[in-house]
Amino acid sequence: MARLSIPQLPPYAAEAIARHQVEAPVKLGAIANDLGVKVVISDLPLAVSGMLVLDKDDRQTWTIKVNRHEHRNRQRFTIAHEIAHYVLHRDVIGNELVDDTFYRSGLSERREFEANALAAEILMPWHLITQLMRDGERDVNKLAEALQVSPAAMNIRLGVLT
C-alpha cells in the first residue's frame, strides 16, 4: 500500500475519521472514541512515544497510551499513528504494540510507513489544508499551528524538503 487515503479504509473507520475532519484541528479523541478506543496520557519511558494495548481481561477493548512528557503536537501525531495501527494492523499486533520515539515498533517498515501515512492523512487532511490556504494562510508555521502539528510534519505533508 504505497499511499493511503481515508476512503480506502473499512467504512466504519473512514466514517469515524471523516466525521471529525470538518474543522481544524482534527478531534483525535473523538475519532478514537467513535472507534471504541480509549486514549490515556501516561507516564511512559522517555524512549517510548506511545502504545496500543489490548485489555487483557475483556480481550476486546483497546487503549492508546501516550507519553505525557512529549510536546502536545508530538502527542497528537502519536495518537493518530496508534489509531492508524488500530485500523490497519490490529490483527497482527497481538496484545500490545510499543512505538519508540522514531515510531519503530517491531512491525515491518512497510506497516510503520502505512501508519505514518495514515496519521498524516488523519491530522492534516488535504481539504483542511486547502481551506486554510484559500482563506489566505500560506505560512507553514501557521498552517501547522492551526492543525496542531509540528512545522516539520506540515512541511513533509506539503512535500517541502526540510
Whole-structure pTM value: 0.90
Q: Is the pLDDT of residue 102 over 90?
A: no
Instruction: Report the C-alpha gap between 63 and 61 in whole angstroms.
Output: 7
Domain ranges for the chain: 6-124
CA–CA distance, 68 with 62 (Å, rounded to integer): 19
In DSSP terms, which residues pair with 51 in a beta bridge? 65, 98
C-alpha distances in Å from residue 22, one per residue of 17, 52, 70, 122: 10, 26, 26, 11
First to last CA, the chain: 25
6-124 topology per CATH: Arc Repressor Mutant, subunit A (1.10.10)
- 33-84 pLDDT, tens digit per residue, is 999 999 999 999 989 999 999 988 888 899 999 999 999 999 999 999 999 9
**Residue 4: predicted pLDDT:** 66
Question: Which of the 8 DSSP states describes residue 8?
Answer: G
User: Would the pLDDT of 1 be above 60?
Assistant: no
